[in-house]
Structure 1
Amino acid sequence: MVSPTAVYALLMLAAPLVTIIAYSFFKDGYLTVIHEFTLENYIDTWGDPVFRSIMLRSLMISGLVTLVTVLLAFPIAYYVSFHVSSSMKARWLFLITIPFWTSYLIRVFLWKVILGYNGVINSGLKALGIIEQPLTFILYNVNSIVLTLAHAYAPFAILPIFVALEKIDRSLLEAGLDLGESKFRTFCRVTLPLAMPGVVASVLIVFIPTIGDYVTPQLIGGGKIPMIANVIQARMLDLDNKPMGSAVAVSAMVLVTIISLIFLFLNRRFLRGQK
């Protein structure tokens, strides 16, 4: 019974990953790949200051997106879980998932329309007489990229936190209040630790894919603020250097894996300290 799923995972996940890793150790020839083992791709990648700079920028932007998204998602998930009646929770979750109804690319274009030189924000401010000239700093910068990505990944952050909050036994919160703890202390010592699995899931769900986002930096950043996915695309397609592009992709993947494992380790230490 597991065979169809296993075959699908092998073909769609394992095979492309193995191919990329293998290509990263091959040499690049003119319009072809030379199947000879080499470490030059990794040496050139990590020795390139442009790669290091863009990788750090990608980590910074992805970390900022994750922070903003989770901080905004937690109050929403908390409100739906603790303050919305059981009969209305399904409706709220339905509204939260509405952004999934449209293509991710369309949502990015809509943010470009909203933030553009003659977009909704500038047109509205000019109509109200607040500004005379359109604002130029709300598009094609890091802030606009963070805003767009935070909106795109908000449902991914809300739902895991909501599920974790729903699993909390409400009698534990009542016990904390009966023992003389304030609502804030009860939240910090009971609710938040018990909700951490959902928070951790949200952080990883947002952090990992936003590092590899290609569309938003290209459209919202105007191509002026490339992230690591844009570098991979340039190596793979523009320069037609698949081994180098594969080395960049594998390097980024390994780095993100290490950061994610460190985060999980620190979170586990935090939960042990709470106990």
Structure 2
Amino acid sequence: MTEASLTPSTRAPLAFRTGMMAPGTAITFLLILFSLALVVFLAFRVNDGSLLGAGFTLGNFSNVIFDPLNWSVMLRSLAIAGCVTAATVITAFPVAYFLAFHAGRRRGLILFLVTLPFWTSYLLRVFAWKIVLAYNGVLNSALVGSGLLSEPTLAFLNTPTAVVVTLAHAYAPFAILPIYVALDTIPRSLIEAAADLGARPWTTFRRVILPNAMPGVMAAALVVFVPTVGDYVTPALVGGPSSTMIGSMIQAQFGKANDWPFGAALSAAVMLVILTVVLIVRTTDARFGSRA
């Protein structure tokens, strides 16, 4: 359909749709696509002290690939993010299941409580866990007061476990909500049909509920895994040297080291790893998609 063939009645909706799409398109281009392109561009530049570098090089990616430290930190980041994702999804599923099938009139109140952490600063929640896990913190005081420990211990704070616990708590709402949505959309007729056919509750859960909830579980896993891989605030506050993650290395390159090209190369490598994980999850989601 050409411009001349458009009638006034069709031009108005077309102009309206174009106007509605323009802000989102501009924001997507400027804040996402342009930023990603700039990171990739910087990754190939020479670090000569200028903002964009003076020439092109593959040395940054060579350093990323052949430096064992980068691989060690990357694998540690993936391991911590994997543990956070597993802990978050496993603990979020029962909450989402209760919300979908047993909350009744209390569903609105429970959803309010689930989203309540969004009302506070992320840093404030991390500092709260630092107070809980500190040497003279809440957990040590409770254990000493109950007689389980004779004196406070340093085993809680500045450890990978502290990072996993803190991140799992921070991202719990992001896992609960997509799983709840997936469970809430399961037709109750499927569950009733399974019961009518003699299926026990566990069989119904395994054969009906869980397969149909898998898209929500996959979405929750991605929503938690992707940001936790590159997190650097939490390891810096509640983790120690053994909890350094790739996000901390990237932040150091853009900060104290002032080596933006190498930091961009590390960022590009992380994006490639995350893209690989996303493709794997999409393939798994296609295999275990809804059977409703």
Shorter-chain TM-score: what band?
Answer: over 0.9
- Is 1:24–1:244's contact at 8 Å kept on the other side of the alignment? yes
Deviations 1:50-99 (A, max 9, x none): 000000000000001000000000000001110011x3211110010111
Tell me which amino acid in the other structure corresponds to 1:149.
L
Gaps of 5+ in 1: none
Task: Choose the corresponding residue for 1:42, options 43, 54, 61.
Answer: 61
Q: Which residue of 2 aligns with 1:73?
A: 92
Count, aligned residues: 273
Tell me which amino acid in the other structure corresponds to 1:190.
V
Task: Choose the corresponding residue for 1:245, options 230, 248, 263.
Answer: 263
Question: How many angstroms apart in 1 are the aligned matches of 2:74 and 2:226?
Answer: 13
- Is 2:163–2:243's contact at 8 Å kept on the other side of the alignment? no
Q: Which residue of 2 aligns with 1:156?
A: 174
- Is 1:31–1:240's contact at 8 Å kept on the other side of the alignment? no
Task: Choose the corresponding residue for 2:232, options 214, 237, 257.
Answer: 214
- Is 1:112–1:220's contact at 8 Å kept on the other side of the alignment? yes
Question: How many angstroms apart in 2 are the aligned matches of 1:223 and 1:15?
Answer: 34
- Is 1:25–1:41's contact at 8 Å kept on the other side of the alignment? yes
Gaps of 5+ in 2: 1-19
Q: Which residue of 2 aligns with 1:181?
A: 199
- Is 2:254–2:263's contact at 8 Å kept on the other side of the alignment? yes
Q: How does 1:1-275 map to 2 (within 5 A)?
A: 1-30=20-49, 32-85=51-104, 87-271=105-289
Deviations 1:144-171 (A, max 9, x none): 1100000000000000011111111001
Tell me which amino acid in the other structure corresponds to 1:49.
P
Runs of 4+ in 1 over 3 A off after TM superposition: 30-33
Q: Which residue of 1 aligns with 2:10?
A: none
Tell me which amino acid in the other structure corresponds to 2:233.
V
Percent of aligned pairs with the same residue?
45
Moved more, 24-33 or 180-189: 24-33
Question: How many angstroms apart in 1 are the aligned matches of 2:153 and 2:111?
Answer: 35
Moved more, 10-19 or 51-60: 10-19
TM-score by length of structure 1 reads 0.95
Question: How many angstroms apart in 1 are the aligned matches of 2:226 and 2:169?
Answer: 16
Structure having the higher Rg: 2
SS in 1 for 2:255: helix
Deviation at 1:17, TM superposition (A): 1.2
TM-score by length of structure 2 reads 0.90
SS in 2 for 1:92: helix
Deviation at 1:43, TM superposition (A): 0.8
Deviation at 1:267, TM superposition (A): 3.2
Query: What is the RMSD of the two structures over their aligned residues, measured on CA atoms?
Result: 1.5
Moved more, 144-153 or 263-272: 263-272
Question: How many angstroms apart in 2 are the aligned matches of 1:74 and 1:35?
Answer: 52
Deviation at 1:111, TM superposition (A): 0.2
Deviation at 1:31, TM superposition (A): 5.0
Deviation at 1:4, TM superposition (A): 1.0
Deviation at 1:12, TM superposition (A): 1.5
**Shift in alpha-carbon separation, 1:246–1:161, aligned structure 2, 3 A:** same
Deviations 1:215-253 (A, max 9, x none): 110010035421010010111111110000000000011
